[in-house]
Amino acid sequence: MNFDLEQLLQHLRVNKIGDAHYRGENLPGKRKAVFGGQVIAQALSATIQHIASDRQPNSLHCHFLRPGNTSVPIDYQVVVVRDGGSFSLRQVTALQHGKAIFLATISFQKPESGLQHQQPAPSMLPRDEMISEWEFWQQVQQERPEITYLRPPNFTALDIFSRFRPGVNAPEPQTDPTQAIWFRANGKMDDPSDHFLIVAFQSDLLFLNTAFHAHPYTLIDPNVQAASLDHCLWFYADIDASEWLYYDMRSPVSGGGRGLNHGFIYTETGKLVASTAQEGLMRVRE
């Protein structure tokens, strides 16, 4: 059976189990640690269910505190920080075995018009010069079967095209580390909230590896210790995640065992609809 879009969304949407208390199920597969994008999306789902329907998410500021265990469901507790005339702020904590593994503040805004500007979008790599997700995992199965646990079998929920993937075709070290992917949901979504969940989920994919492009390592090398430390996501417009989105990522600096990454998400026509920032742990064991 293919793991399709609706199955992915069922795992990203959390279920209410009490007053401001929600529970999320982990994605299937053989990973021991929970994928950060799953927790980000589930935390967003919990706060969306806790907020007035006339407000949309505009920013997330997230901290990863402990590795998540894929064998245990994740509980989310939401706290009202403020409800103003235009903005609302929620704090959400993800817990396993009563311990916090993740903490975020998520802001919502009533849609409004205002001043606008945008820098031009970068030159976008064409998809025919990239490798599809299906082709990548076929290549992994042949060249690195030991890392196939990183994705569920027959993962068809998203269409993804990338150029460099850790462990298979990583580039030579770059002086200006960058990377980009195209992605879209493999199907239509009627609920506008689902589009935000897909982008939140996808915003963590390969992001940390951007900083590693400056070095002769990848985040899945056996002598590398890598993990997301914090993650920020800003939305600037309504998003249709069933249409192609271009995720441009770059890393301005690494040092002190940490790497900083910035990301920008554009429509195929060049409209900037979201941006990201993340600091990740980068340690090489001697």
Q: Which of 75, 159, 204, 248 is catalytic?
A: 204
Give dist(CA 36, CA 140) in Å, integer. 22
CA of residue 243 relative to chain centroid, distance: 17
Instruction: Give DSSP secondary structure letters for 9-34.
Output: HHHHS-EEEETTEEEEPPPPSS-SBP
Q: Which of 56, 96, 254, 278 is catalytic?
A: 278
CA dihedral over 67, 72, 75, 76, signed as positive or negative: positive
Instruction: Give φ, ψ of 7 to 5 degrees.
Output: -65, -40
Judge whether 204 counts as a catalytic residue.
yes
The size of the chain, in residues, is 286
Q: Are 212 and 164 in contact (CB under 8 A)?
A: no
CA angle 275/281/285 to nearest 5° reads 150
CB-based contacts of 121: which residues, under 8 Å, 6+ apart? 246, 248, 266, 270, 271, 272
- Say if strands 87-96 and 74-83 run parallel, antiparallel, or are unpaired: antiparallel
Q: Which of 38, 162, 202, 228 is catalytic?
A: 228
Active site residues: 204, 228, 278
